[in-house]
Structure 1
Amino acid sequence: MIDKQSGIPIYIQIQSEIKKKMEDGVWKVGTSIPAERQLAEMFHVSRMTVRQAIQGLVDDNILQRRVGAGTFIAEKKLTERLEAVTSFTNLMLQEGKVPSTRIVSYGIRPASTQEQEALQLPENSNVMKIERIRYGDRVPILYEVAAIPEKIASLLTKEDIMDSLYKAIELKLGQPIGEAEQIMEASLVSEKIAPYLDVKLGSPVMKLRQITTLED
């Protein structure tokens, strides 16, 4: 409960109450929390105070605002840097499985703002966007979306895209793959991807975002 006489800022107390509901499993990861008006009534405070509390949790990546949808409990993310990068193809071979690939789509298009920042590209740059399904012993394991700078992508053939991109890039450039930074988070499979992975809509999956660099 909120104690207005405690000397602790009210918005801090609201944040603590929200975190407690998360810890107790009342509000679960990926679900929305009540609207500001409802929270204001729940805690008997002004909407401005609620807004201040929520913004602080958004800034701390505990809550996430979604335009037109509301405020949600943010998915937990794990970030790590990989000094040794192994391709999906090699991972499957190491497990004694036969890797294979099905191309969903590929083509050159303007890089998004996020892609420009991640790939350190100048404005108005293009990337090749590749969407593929990766299999191990014919079982779908991974839905992959890759964005490759046009300068590098122009060297790739369709046969390269059907195989290991890391291997193809290393051979074409004569430069080994360096390290990678990856962010992992638990998620729920979307309507678009579920059929490709042969799972039900909303099934739990692991979402991985990886930025890979070449060795200097």
Structure 2
Amino acid sequence: MGLPIYIQIHNEIKKKIELGKWRVGEKIPSERELSVNFSVSRMTLRQAIQTLVDEGVLERHVGSGTFVARQKVQEKMSSGVTSFTELTEAQGKKPSSKTVTYMITAPSLSETEKLNLEDKQRVLRMERIRYADDLPICFEVATVPYDLVQEYDRNQITKSLYRALEDNGLQIGHAQQNVSAMLASEKIADYLDIKRGAAILRLRQVTFLGNGQPFEYVRTQYVGDRFEFYLEK
């Protein structure tokens, strides 16, 4: 299966940034100009840009445009890895999920890099809204190598990927996490039942199995006043 058009554009923009066409802190061309250059609709171009924003490659400045993101100060979080399901249950709440998309496809350039994929490997990319006691907490885009989960039932994966892996004898190892603040887009605001422009927390995480193999690249956007991260030193 070929790459969706917006992912192809995502890859091209990311390559241009890596090659130095646009440098850190530099404003990239407007959506109108880029949509003409790539011969696509504004909607498709905007989807590609939003994917790069979600990954922390680009950042939007209200009223000014879109810029190549500056590196942010990082705080090392506790090395333990806990799934959303386990975390929610530990708080005495009932976890649930709504699957928005579930797609087996070729990986984007970012997904290939984060998951250390080989040529022609496919991935499972799923978008989910995660709930605690039926209240939407976050919107999540998770990507895993398809050959790792192809024998699993879809319901197992969408309900709790970590439990599905552990039930099949795999050990969850450590994770690399980046947390930053951003404003909710119209799409995310609709999914999470908040106002557009509301404060949200963005988590980007690569999770590893016990043997050091990266198995999950996830981009999650949490409602700012419904979730908090706890740091332990």
TM-score by length of structure 2 reads: 0.61
Query: Where do 1:67-86 residues align within 5 Å?
Result: 67-68=29-30, 69=65, 71=67, 74=70, 76=72, 78=74, 80=76, 82-86=78-82
Residue 147 of structure 1 pairs with residue 147 of structure 2: no
1:190 and 2:185 correspond: yes
Q: Deviations along 1:24-53, whole A, 9 cap, x unmatched?
A: xxxxxxxxxxxxxxxxxxxxxxxxxxxxxx
Gaps of 5+ in 1: 1-53
Map 1:26-65 onto structure 2 (within 5 A).
58=24, 63-65=25-27
For 1:130 and 1:150, locate their aligned partners in 2 and report how far apart those are by CA, in whole Å: 11
User: 1:52-94 CA distances to partner (integer Å, 9 max, x unpaired)?
Assistant: xx95xx2xxxx35334345477584535365310010111111
The yes-or-no answer on 1:130 pairing with 2:133 is no
Query: Is 1:121 aligned with 2:111?
Result: no
After alignment, is 74-83 or 160-169 more displaced? 74-83
1:160-207 deviations in Å (ceiling 9; x for gaps): 1331111111223x1210000011110111121111100011111001
> 93, 97, 116: which is aligned to 2:93?
97
Is there any run of 5+ residues in structure 2 with no aligned partner, and where?
Answer: 1-21, 31-64, 212-233
Question: How large is the Cα RMSD of the aligned pairs?
Answer: 2.2
Paired with 1:193 and 1:77, the residues of 2 have a C-alpha distance of: 25
Do 1:75 and 1:187's aligned partners in 2 also have CA atoms closer than 8 Å?
no
Number of matched pairs: 156
SS at match of 1:89: helix
Answer yes or no: is 1:161 the counterpart of 2:157. yes
Equivalent in the alignment of 2:55: none
Separation in 2, partners of 1:203, 1:150: 34
Structure of higher CA gyration radius: 1
Pair 1:70–1:127, CA change in 2 (3 A): closer
Counterpart Cα distance in 2 of 1:76 and 1:202: 21
Q: Structure 1-normalised TM-score?
A: 0.66
Query: What letter corresponds to residue 145 of structure 1 in structure 2?
Result: V
Paired amino acid for 1:120: N
**Which residue pairs with 1:110 in the alignment?**
106
CA displacement 1:85-121 (0-9 Å, x = unmatched): 0010111111111111111110101011111110000
Name the SS of the counterpart of 1:148 in structure 2. strand
Q: State the percentage of identical aligned residues.
A: 39
